[in-house]
């Protein structure tokens, strides 16, 4: 492990600069801007889960007084190509276009079919009722296994499965198959003392961000436009909108408002191109906001999956072979997270023989979008569950079996590269030494443990740092702040410049006022944008040193930067006072003008973040109710810049993972209509459902980041699924391999076990 | 839409009786306003009853308690006398929603919304509550179990509203309890529920009992066979088994997103068993 470094600002927990406005309600979210003359847009959604659109007639809606514009798919420019959407989400631009507004076909219930803009939201709703759409209803396929049958209705009759040889001749709903192999699995299973094979099912789940999608768009007559929106990446939203509307990107300004959660779900556009087109048509600013029901019916959940897992283990716990086959629901358009699911699943372990196969399968459900560590919760739920069952059978402690097989520096990751310094073993050891793990399992309860892993990404970021005339500092970045990243940027700037946190503020610039930055996603912001901020601050230091050198009449290399001051190098004969950043700022007019630094980069070396979670649960055998008695999340953050916000990520991910494990699921009727499109029946945990999530941050610095940062945002959601499942298995003595572990499912499983 | 806020029950009944189109009483609004906002209801007249003094108070009478129709869950929960006499009824009412909803929601609104899963209703029925109805033809008093006739349907006639709910006195040998099952710990709708009210006689033997189940049929169901199973017993295991069997037999639930038929049936019986034990203890039984 690298040596711990003492920092002055990094690792402290100052109040976030955006906090006051958020708790007082002043903060402006996506649907908050109000512009003079603004009107309100609403979307007409498909009542069918699968149908051809024969015609759309907007004329009666347009005749309603107070209606200013109406549109359907035909109003969008055609010719959108098949290039990838990019960012964290799968699929092509042409699919994205149809997901924003259907053209000749709808592939899920709730897909956008038309839109209107009117004087008031009520009037817009009334106008929607006047739009006439003629459908030819098609048979619906909802289950991923049913969708793979030859007799299944085809969502896309031109879809030929990619990734299998020979290329199939007939179309099917299977878009692609992703395969990773190492060694010889059959031989590996031969060597094992214990071989287990199980089926695992994980339901479709929504990100559940509290702020529904919202935006305001204002187009002018000259072709320029401004869009305020709740987004994880306003640059990507600008690019997608310009493509979908055939607009000159230079004409578009996207402003990222405050965001009330995204978790991957706000990396793709839904409303923005529609609002902008309505604004162009009406000549008025248009506000659009989804209801919670629309969010559930038509925005990206993550895939439900059906899969099988097989494991071979020796008596000493060594894994000899592992195999995963898993079909992912893509929803109505291709793009399930099959790649990362396959790459992640075995990453915590050194396994000589493995095979993993993941399938991207079309079903008549909403098109999936990224959700925290896309694909990994599903695939790792399967493996972390079967590994636990193997440990039980062999009488090995769940931490020990993971230590026996743990990946460490130099291990070849299943997806190719060798791991640099990683902290999985450290997380396992922290779990072993944790007082809650050493404590006995409460009477009648069961304990479960599981591990998590996420790659994390770097990607492109820009930052500018401006020093004001009194030495205070503004950081301008292009990464929407979802989890407190502005505070983290200020801390890294404070540390680098040797300036107090309180004299630094960070702002998220719009697309016209700062350099390109990719989405806040892939757990990359504190790592990559942080790296840009640090480099921009270093740029300032270089400039300060040369200005001090000029002031003192010495060479540039005779000046050093020490604790926020320019000082002459030891031995340099200068009878001078050290110059602080404030001194430099005050003298700026005489030394070359205002001081500012900038950096734009494509960050390399995002360090993987591993986690270990454990929990004790009590199950009421008569009602199937699961009470989570305690939950401990341990994760390697590399270096926690602002520990409170690292813990926030760990606790939030645990809450989402526990919800997914226990109650969250999409329930459809046979026609493909979601039955629980609201928070009453789509049950994310409420505060009283959860214990305090105990966090332990492990710090194994990432050598590729100036302060050792690893991304922490995604890993936390992975382990809870299997940790809860394993705990329920230990509490009840019955393994239930289908999530959620809802009360009816538990009671049914216990009844079945009782009868057997 | 017209909004009226009269100050007497008679005035309210008159407004409702004369209304053209759809007229609704507004108590806490935690059902009505939600349904209006969701576009499920478009009333022509809304009569807010919260300014009617008679609906605002809880009074102790010679025969028990009268609870005004706009007394909120939180207000009821603060009334020590009612809580002491009818802990099950008060607990059931306090289960509705969250702190915010408690500040508004009423027992009568819960009753008149006529949801099969309404929490306060089984407890009211078990306790023998009566509704005081005011209409164009005057006042009448009706047992609470006669109000709801099906999901979303009540026996109230045009122009009628409920002014208050009355509960008997209760007593040292009477105990009641209500339990519901929800997958979460709050902010949920009962998947099934059970209320039990019983009275002990000599030697703590159960003399009278009422067992009511919620969310397992179109309306709350009173299960006389379950009551019979425990009357004359000291709630021994055999009696509890018989009560559970009678409850299972009385269930006629649906399969939906909130639970399966099997689950609702099984768990309703579990809850009845548990509620009976609590009620027995509250009545002084051992
Ligand atoms: C977030 C939330 C959580 C909830 N949780 C629960 C829960 O856990 N359990 C539960 O049972 N319910 C729950 N509910 C539903 C609701 O809060 C209850 O049914 C509540 O008791 C309704 O009372 P109210 O006074 O608000 O009724 P209102 O909305 O004012 O009225 C409901 C209906 O009754 C009629 N009505 C009201 N008063 C009278 C009267 N005096 N005479 C005749 N008709 C009348 C109205 O016209 C309307 O049709 C919840 C609601 C929300 C929004």
B160/B179 same-domain check: no
How far apart CA A569 and CA A567 sit, in angstroms, is 6
Question: For B274, which residue in chain A has the nearest alpha carbon?
Answer: A622
Residue A628 has what DSSP assignment? E
pLDDT tens digits for A396-417?
999 999 999 999 999 999 999 9
The shortest CB-CB distance from A744 to any of B188, B189, B260 is to B260
Q: Token pair for residue A441?
A: 């399992």
Question: What is the model's pLDDT at position A78?
Answer: 81
3-state helix, strand, coil in chain A (%, to 5): 30, 25, 45
B8/B140 same-domain check: yes
Quick one: which H or E segment has residue B168? strand B161-168
**Residues contacting A709, CB < 8 A, separation 6+:** A526, A527, A530, A531, A607, A637, A638, A639, A641, A702
Residue A688 has what DSSP assignment? G
B195/B256 same-domain check: yes
Mean pLDDT computed over B201-208: 96
Q: How far is A120 from chain B (nearest CA, A)?
A: 15
Q: Could you say which architecture CATH assigns to the domain A31-138+211-260+266-298?
A: Alpha-Beta Complex (3.90)
| Domain A19-23+458-603: top CATH class | alpha beta
Q: Token pair for residue B181?
A: 């099952």
B269/B195 same-domain check: yes
pLDDT tens digits for A613-643?
999 999 999 999 999 999 999 999 999 999 9
Residues 666-695 of A with CB under 8 A from B: 667, 675-676, 680-681, 683, 685-686, 688-689
Q: Specify the number of domains making up chain B.
A: 2
Q: What percent of chain A has pLDDT over 90?
A: 96
Q: How are beta strands A51-57 and A132-137 bridged, if at all?
A: antiparallel
Please indicate whether residue B124, judged by its CB atom, sits closer than 6 Å to ligand 1. Answer: no
- CA distances (Å), origin A318, targets A194, A311, A460, A646: 10, 11, 40, 33
Given B140, B168, B196, which residue is the final one in a domain? B168
Reported confidence tier of residue A90, pLDDT bands at 50, 70, 90: confident
In chain A, where are the structural domains located? 19-23+458-603, 31-138+211-260+266-298, 301-456+607-755
Question: What is the model's pLDDT at position B271?
Answer: 98
Please indicate whether residue B164, judged by its CB atom, sits closer than 6 Å to ligand 1. Answer: no
Chain B CB within 8 Å of residue A630 CB = no
Q: Token pair for residue A456?
A: 């994390």
Question: What is the model's pLDDT at position A91?
Answer: 82
What residue's CA is closest to ligand 1, atom 50? Answer: B97
- pLDDT above 80 for B229: yes
**Residues contacting A506, CB < 8 A, separation 6+:** A17, A474, A475, A476, A477, A481, A486, A487, A489, A490, A493, A533
CB A698 within 8 A of CB A427: yes
Reported confidence tier of residue A668, pLDDT bands at 50, 70, 90: very high
pLDDT tens digits for A539-563?
999 999 999 999 999 999 999 999 9
B255/B124 same-domain check: no
Please indicate whether residue B96, judged by its CB atom, sits closer than 6 Å to ligand 1. Answer: yes
CB A294 within 8 A of CB A212: yes
B211/B149 same-domain check: no
pLDDT tens digits for A678-737?
999 999 999 999 999 999 999 999 999 999 999 999 999 999 999 999 999 999 999 999
Question: What is the model's pLDDT at position A4?
Answer: 63
Q: Tell me how many helices (H) and strands (E) chain A has.
A: 21, 28
Task: Tell me what ipTM this predicted complex has.
Answer: 0.93
How far apart CA A172 and CA A156 sit, in angstroms, is 8
pLDDT averaged over every residue in chain B: 96
Q: Token pair for residue A351?
A: 């396994």
B75/B103 same-domain check: yes
Question: What is the model's pLDDT at position A87?
Answer: 64
- pLDDT above 70 for A2: no
Q: Tell me whether residues A681 and B183 touch, CB distance under 8 A.
A: no
Given B143, B168, B193, which residue is the final one in a domain? B168
How far apart CA A246 and CA A242 sit, in angstroms, is 5
Chain B CB within 8 Å of residue A622 CB = yes
Question: What is the model's pLDDT at position A3?
Answer: 53
Residues 562-591 of A with CB under 8 A from B: none
Q: Residues in chain B whose beta carbon is closer than 8 A to a beta carbon of chain A?
A: 39, 181, 183-189, 191, 256-260, 262-263, 266-267, 270-271
Quick one: which H or E segment has residue A258? none
Task: Give the relative orientation of helices B261-282 and A743-755 as an angle to the nearest 10 degrees.
Answer: 90
Given B168, B187, B202, which residue is the final one in a domain? B168
**Residues contacting B244, CB < 8 A, separation 6+:** B269, B270, B272, B273
Question: What is the model's pLDDT at position A682?
Answer: 97
CB A647 within 8 A of CB A641: no
Residue given tokens 């033809």 in the structure block: B137
Q: Which residues of A touch B259 (CB under 8 A)?
A: 743-744
- Look at the pTM and tell me if it is higher than 0.80: yes
Say how far residue B26 (Cα) sits from the centre of its chain. 18
- pLDDT above 80 for A158: yes
**Chain A, chain B: beta-carbon pairs less than 8 Å apart:** 56
Residue B105 Cα to ligand 1 middle (Å): 6
Asked if A19-23+458-603 and A301-456+607-755 have one fold, the answer is yes
pLDDT averaged over every residue in chain A: 96
Reported confidence tier of residue A1, pLDDT bands at 50, 70, 90: very low
CB A211 within 8 A of CB A263: no
Q: Nearest Cα to A715, choosing from A299, A422, A351?
A: A422
Task: Give the relative orientation of helices A719-732 and A643-662 as an angle to the nearest 10 degrees.
Answer: 50
Q: What percent of chain A has pLDDT over 70?
A: 99
What residue's CA is closest to ligand 1, atom 21? Answer: B110
- pLDDT above 60 for B117: yes
Chain B CB within 8 Å of residue A747 CB = yes
CATH number of the domain at B214, please: 3.30.390.50
Q: Token pair for residue A722?
A: 């299997």
Please indicate whether residue B131, judged by its CB atom, sits closer than 6 Å to ligand 1. Answer: no
B8/B111 same-domain check: yes
Q: Token pair for residue A691?
A: 């214990």
B138/B184 same-domain check: no
- pLDDT above 90 for A387: yes
B7/B87 same-domain check: yes
Domain that holds residue B135: 2-49+56-168
Say how far residue A382 (Cα) sits from the centre of its chain. 20
Given strand B2-4, what is the order of strands in its sheet? Answer: B2-4, B45-48, B23-26
CATH number 3.10.420.10 given to A301-456+607-755 = no
Phi, psi of A526 (to 5 degrees): -65, -35
B115/B156 same-domain check: yes
Please indicate whether residue B242, judged by its CB atom, sits closer than 6 Å to ligand 1. Answer: no
Backbone φ/ψ region at A484: left (φ over 0), alpha (ψ -120 to 50), beta: left
Question: What is the model's pLDDT at position B47?
Answer: 98
B39/B107 same-domain check: yes
């Amino acid at each position: 492990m690298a040596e711990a470094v003492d920092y002055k600002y990094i690792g402290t927990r100052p109040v976030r600069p955006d906090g006051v406005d958020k708790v007082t309600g002043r903060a402006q979210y996506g649907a908050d801007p109000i512009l003079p003359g603004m009107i309100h847009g609403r979307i007409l959604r498909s009542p069918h889960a699968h149908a051809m659109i024969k015609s759309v007639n907007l004329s009666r809606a347009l005749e309603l007084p107070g209606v200013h514009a109406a549109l359907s798919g035909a109003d969008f420019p055609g010719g959108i190509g098949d290039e990838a959407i990019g960012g964290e989400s799968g699929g092509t631009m042409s699919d994205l276009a149809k997901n924003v507004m259907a053209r000749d076909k709808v592939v899920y219930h709730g897909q956008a079919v038309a839109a209107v803009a009117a004087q008031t939201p009520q009037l817009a709703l009334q106008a929607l009722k006047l739009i006439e759409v003629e459908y030819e209803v098609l048979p619906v396929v909802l289950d991923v296994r049913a969708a793979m049958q030859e007799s299944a209705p085809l969502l896309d009759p031109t879809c030929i499965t990619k990734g299998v040889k020979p290329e199939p001749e007939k179309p099917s709903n299977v878009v692609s198959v992703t395969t990773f192999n190492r060694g010889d699995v059959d031989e590996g299973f031969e060597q094992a003392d214990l071989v287990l094979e199980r089926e695992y099912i994980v339901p479709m789940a929504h990100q559940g961000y509290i702020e529904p999608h919202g935006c305001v768009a204002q187009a002018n007559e000259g072709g320029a436009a401004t869009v305020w929106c709740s987004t994880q990446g306003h640059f990507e939203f600008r690019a997608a909108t310009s493509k979908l509307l055939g607009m000159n990107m230079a004409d578009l300004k996207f402003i990222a408002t405050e965001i009330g959660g995204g978790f991957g779900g706000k990396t793709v556009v839904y409303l923005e191109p529609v609002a902008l087109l309505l604004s162009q048509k009406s000549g008025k600013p248009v506000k659009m906001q989804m209801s919670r029901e629309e969010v559930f019916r038509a925005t990206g959940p993550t895939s439900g999956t059906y899969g099988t897992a097989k494991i071979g283990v020796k008596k000493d716990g060594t894994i000899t072979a592992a195999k995963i086959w898993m079909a992912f629901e893509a929803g109505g358009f291709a793009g399930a997270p099959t790649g990362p699911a396959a790459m992640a699943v075995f990453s915590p372990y050194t396994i000589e023989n493995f095979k993993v196969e993941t399938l991207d399968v079309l079903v008549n459900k909403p098109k999936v979008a990224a959700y925290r560590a896309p694909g990994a919760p599903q695939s790792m739920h399967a493996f972390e569950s079967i590994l636990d069952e193997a440990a039980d059978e062999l009488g090995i402690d769940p931490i020990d079996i993971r230590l026996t097989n743990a990946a460490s520096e130099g291990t070849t990751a299943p997806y190719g590269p060798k791991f640099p310094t990683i902290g999985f073993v450290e997380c396992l050891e922290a779990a072993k030494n944790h007082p809650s793990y050493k404590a006995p399992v409460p009477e009648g309860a069961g304990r479960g443990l599981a591990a998590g892993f996420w790659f994390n990404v770097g990607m492109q970021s820009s930052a500018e740092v401006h020093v004001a005339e009194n030495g205070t500092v503004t950081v301008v970045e292009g990464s929407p702040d979802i989890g407190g990243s502005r505070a983290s940027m200020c801390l890294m700037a404070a540390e680098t410049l040797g300036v107090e946190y309180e004299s630094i503020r960070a702002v998220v610039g719009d697309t016209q006022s700062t350099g390109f930055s990719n989405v806040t996603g892939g757990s990359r912001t504190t790592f990559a944008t942080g790296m840009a901020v640090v480099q921009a601050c270093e740029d300032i230091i270089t400039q300060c040193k040369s200005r001090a050198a000029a002031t003192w009449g010495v060479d540039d290399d005779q000046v050093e930067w020490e604790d926020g001051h320019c000082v002459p190098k030891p031995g340099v004969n200068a009878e001078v006072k050290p110059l602080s950043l404030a001194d430099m700022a005050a003298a700026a007019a005489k030394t070359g003008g205002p001081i500012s630094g900038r950096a734009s980069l494509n960050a390399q070396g995002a360090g993987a973040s591993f986690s270990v979670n454990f929990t004790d649960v009590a199950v009421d055998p008569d009602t199937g109710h699961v009470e989570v008695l305690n939950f401990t999340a341990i994760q390697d953050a590399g270096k926690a810049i602002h520990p409170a916000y690292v813990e926030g990520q760990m606790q939030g991910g645990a809450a989402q993972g526990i919800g997914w494990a226990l109650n969250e699921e999409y329930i459809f009727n046979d026609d493909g209509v979601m039955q629980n499109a609201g928070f009453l029946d789509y049950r994310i945990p409420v505060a009283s459902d959860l214990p305090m999530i105990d966090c332990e941050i492990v710090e194994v610095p990432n050598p590729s980041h100036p302060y050792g940062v690893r991304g922490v945002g995604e890993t936390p959601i992975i382990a809870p699924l299997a940790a809860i499942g394993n705990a329920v298995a230990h509490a009840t003595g019955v393994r239930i391999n289908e999530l959620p572990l809802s009360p009816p499912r538990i009671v049914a499983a216990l009844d079945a076990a009782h009868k057997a | 839409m017209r909004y009226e806020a009269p100050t007497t029950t008679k005035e309210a009944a008159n407004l409702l009786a004369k209304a053209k189109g759809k007229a609704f009483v507004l108590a806490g609004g935690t059902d009505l306003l939600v349904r209006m906002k969701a576009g499920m209801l478009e009333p022509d007249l809304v009569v807010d009853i919260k300014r009617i003094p008679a609906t605002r108070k809880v009074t102790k009478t010679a025969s028990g308690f009268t609870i005004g129709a706009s007394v909120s869950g939180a207000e009821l929960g603060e009334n020590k006398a009612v809580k002491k006499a009818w802990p099950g009824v008060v607990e059931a009412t306090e289960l509705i929603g969250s702190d915010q909803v408690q500040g508004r929601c009423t027992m009568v609104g819960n009753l008149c919304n006529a949801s099969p899963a309404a929490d306060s209703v089984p407890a009211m029925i078990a306790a023998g509550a009566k509704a005081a109805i005011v209409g164009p033809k005057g006042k009448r008093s009706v047992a609470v179990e006669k109000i709801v006739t099906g999901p979303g349907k009540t026996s109230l006639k045009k122009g009628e509203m409920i002014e208050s709910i009355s509960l008997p006195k209760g007593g040292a040998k009477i105990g009641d309890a209500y339990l519901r099952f929800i997958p979460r710990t709050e902010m949920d709708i009962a998947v099934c529920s059970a209320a039990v009210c019983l009275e002990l006689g000599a030697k703590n033997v159960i003399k009278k009992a009422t067992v009511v189940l919620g969310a397992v049929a179109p309306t709350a169901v009173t299960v006389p066979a379950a009551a019979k199973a425990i009357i004359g017993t000291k709630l021994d295991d055999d009696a509890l088994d018989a009560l559970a069997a009678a409850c299972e037999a009385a269930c006629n639930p649906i399969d939906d997103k909130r639970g399966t038929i099997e689950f609702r049936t099984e768990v309703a019986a579990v809850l009845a068993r548990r509620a009976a034990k609590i009620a027995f203890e509250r009545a002084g039984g051992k």
